[in-house]
Amino acid sequence: MIIFILSFLIFPGLVLIRNYKVSREVIFTAHSGVNFYLANNPEAKGSFKGLLGRSSKEILENGRLLAERRLGRPLTLGQVSHFWQKEAMEFIKRNPLSFLSLLFKKFFLFYQAGEIPDVENYSLSRRYLLPFLKLPFLSLRLILPLAIFGFFLTLKKKNLLLHLFWLSQNLSLSLFWVNTRYRLLTVPIFIIFASFFLIWLTEKIRQRKYKIIFLSLALTLLLAVLVNLRKGEKRESLANFHYNLGIAYSREKEYNKAIEQLNRASVLQPNAAAISFALGTVYFQKKDIASAEECFKKALKIYPDAKTYYNLGFIHEQEGKISLAEQEYRKAIALNPYFLSAHYKLAQLYLEQDKLELALEEIEKVLQQSPQNKEANELKRKIIVNFPIS
């Protein structure tokens, strides 16, 4: 047991050491409090919902900005995590019945045989991209009902370690949210219990215990119906699939295909700012500046975002509209004071206009957060060289 505990502690220990080296705080992950809030808030539904963004980077960045605005002071990553954890606990205290209902829903969502996508949607990939996945592989639609039956058949056994592992996974995901890739860890356990049920059923057939066989098959059929109740793809899942496919095409510089996929996503989710932003980026890469600008403005009408203001500023700068570019960069910084690229761009604009003090002020803000930034240090030297000697 001592060897097991020491071995187990090695991995979280390495994480703690690494995080302390980076942030000078003793934290496992800066996402823990944020994720707990995303899973337990008035809008939570049981599966992931990107209230603070789509990617981990966006969630962490937006979580920090919102927390700092509410508290009115700069926060460390650990303090941001604590803030959102506290927000989640406040929701639980004020809405205990809603929390219990959500917990109950997530507990049983764990037993949904259909996929609950998060990053990649395997069922849609099977339908549109990867024909080999259409081969008759065994799926949870069959394995899960057999596994649940096997779980109850083995409760009389003395060794309940696999049962406890199964339930611990079920409960831990219920505190956050349920999706395919998180539940994947439990799938081997499902297979073991499903296999046990088949062995048990084979023995009953050999013993010709037809009443038990009939009842067990009837119960298995009922379980199969229950775990397969939710069918079909939600519009949001389908939109995410086309969005991700569009992003993938854009990285391969297949811009027409990217635009086609992103437009499909936009039809399914017309009020998704991220889709309009992605379309604007692809149009800009395709050098269709007018369409890019239109998409970015549409995205801003849906949701004001620092990166969108920055991109509009960059377009105005390319067009020689320096005053408009400065306004957009300022709007980006107002939303995100840590947006180094916007500070750097402003410094460049001010240098070109001989507003040296303002340029130096902006570049110092970059260097406060990134002292080793090569481009920022070079621009600072250029500003200092141009400063008039008093």
State the DSSP H helix or E strand holding residue 117, giving kind and residue range, or none if neither: none
What's the whole-number mean pLDDT along residues 60-81?
88
Q: How far is residue 298's CA from residue 49's CA, in Å, rounded to a whole number?
A: 22
Q: How far is residue 127's CA from residue 315's CA, in Å, rounded to a whole number?
A: 38
**pLDDT of residue 390 exceeding 50:** no
Q: Which of 12-16, 85-89, 229-233 has the highest mean pLDDT?
A: 85-89
Return the higher-pLDDT residue of 200 and 114. Answer: 200
Return the higher-pLDDT residue of 262 and 56. Answer: 262
**Pick from 172, 49, 32: which is nearest to 116 by CA?**
49
What's the whole-number mean pLDDT along residues 251-266?
94
Top CATH class, 235-386:
mainly alpha
- Residue 232: predicted pLDDT: 55
- Residue 233: predicted pLDDT: 59
Segment among 29-38, 202-211, 230-239 with least mean pLDDT: 230-239
Amino acid (one-letter) located at 390: S
CA separation (Å) from 307 to 274, 311, 333?
11, 6, 9
In three-state secondary structure terms, 31 is: coil
Return the higher-pLDDT residue of 229 and 324. Answer: 324
Please work out, in degrees rounded to the nearest 5, the angle formed at the alpha carbon of residue 305 by the alpha carbons of 303 and 309: 120
In tens, the pLDDT along 298-309 reads 999 998 889 999
**pLDDT of residue 251 exceeding 60:** yes
In tens, the pLDDT along 314-351 reads 999 999 999 999 999 999 999 888 899 999 999 999 98
**Pick from 273, 263, 267: which is nearest to 296 by CA?**
273
Neighbours of 20 (CB within 10 A): 12
Segment among 33-42, 113-122, 337-346 with least mean pLDDT: 113-122
- Residue 37: predicted pLDDT: 93
In tens, the pLDDT along 349-371 reads 998 888 888 999 999 999 988 88
CB distance 59 to 38 below 8 Å? yes
- Residue 181: predicted pLDDT: 86
Locate the domains of the chain by residue range: 2-104, 122-227, 235-386
**pLDDT of residue 59 exceeding 80:** yes
In tens, the pLDDT along 187-220 reads 999 999 999 999 999 999 999 999 999 999 999 9
Go through 313-343 and write b for each residue having 16 or more CB atoms within 10 A of its CB, e for each that does not: bbbbbeeeeeeebbebbebbbebbebbbebb
In three-state secondary structure terms, 344 is: helix
Sort 116 into a burial class: Cβ within 10 Å, 0-12 / 13-18 / 19+.
buried
CB distance 255 to 285 below 8 Å? yes
Query: In the chain, what percentage of residues exceed pLDDT 70?
Result: 97
Per the prediction, the chain carries an average pLDDT of 89
Neighbours of 351 (CB within 10 A): 19
**pLDDT of residue 119 exceeding 80:** no
- Residue 159: predicted pLDDT: 83
